Amino acid sequence: MRAVGAIDPGPILTVASAATTDIGAARANTLSISGTTGITSFGTAPAGTTRWLTFQGVLTITYNATSMILPGLANITTVGGDTALFVSLGGGNWRCMDYMRVAAMPALTIDKGLATAWVNFNGVTMSIKGAHNVASVTRVSAGVYTINFVNPMANANYAVGYSAGTGNGRWMYLYNGTFNTTDSTSTKTTTSVRVMFADGGGSAVDNADISVIIFGGM
């Protein structure tokens, strides 16, 4: 029997994620979504049906202008502990009325003209001087650093800007595990990006003032 009308919000029921995660059929208002399978539909339910969701892990909710209306008009990549409120518009269409990150950062409310993540850190002492949406910086080896995001990007098609220190011939680039600057591959992912700082002779070196800024990935 499909759930209709107001339902006692307890107990919390667990629903496994699937391409169609039929939250409307669940006999509770408050649901815990398990699994990592991407979601493109929440099934059908009478208009006005509401569901509070808590996500147990990382998965992607795919935006659709009619059937899956999301904040920022873009996909959402969940993190374990994220919560959301969805309301049915009827006919298999759902709108996200509220989405809160477990890290208390609203999902996808950042304007595309603003940075989605940035960090300024000391690459010698590995102390972070200032940051936004950056959980940590890991020193992989001399001059090579991995920037780890608090909230994952929706995709890896983001722009990366960076600078480090001063002096002639010093430069940075996206690092792919080798010193071959003609290789187009890199370690840009939705959860981190790796960069390398080198001196004029091409040798990787640490620096006391490094900045990395991310635009896009929404």
pLDDT digits (tens, 9 = 90+) for 103-117: 754 444 445 668 888
| The predicted structure's pLDDT at residue 134 | 87
Contact 188, 174 (CB under 8 A): yes
Q: In what order do the strands lie in the sheet with 144-149?
A: 134-141, 144-149, 192-198, 171-174
Distance, CA of 148 to CA of 134 (rounded, Å): 6
Gap between the terminal Cα atoms of the chain: 38
Average pLDDT over residues 120-136: 87
Distance, CA of 106 to CA of 206 (rounded, Å): 34
For residue 173, name the pLDDT band (cuts at 50, 70, 90): low
| The predicted structure's pLDDT at residue 135 | 85
Cβ partners under 8 Å of residue 142, min gap 6: 204, 205, 206
* % residues pLDDT > 90 (the chain): 34
User: Which pair of structure tokens corresponds to residue 203?
Assistant: 């040798």
Contact 47, 23 (CB under 8 A): no
| The predicted structure's pLDDT at residue 141 | 87
Domain with CATH 2.60.120 in the chain: 13-100
More confident residue, 1 or 197: 197
Q: Which residue intervals of the chain are DSSP H helices?
A: none
What is 13-100's CATH topology? Answer: Jelly Rolls (2.60.120)
| The predicted structure's pLDDT at residue 34 | 95
List the single range of 23-27, 34-38, 70-74 with lowest mean pLDDT: 70-74
| The predicted structure's pLDDT at residue 77 | 86
Q: What integer best gives the mean pLDDT of the chain?
A: 82
Average pLDDT over residues 8-20: 85
User: Which pair of structure tokens corresponds to residue 64?
Assistant: 């659709």
166 three-state secondary structure: coil
State the pTM of this model.
0.48
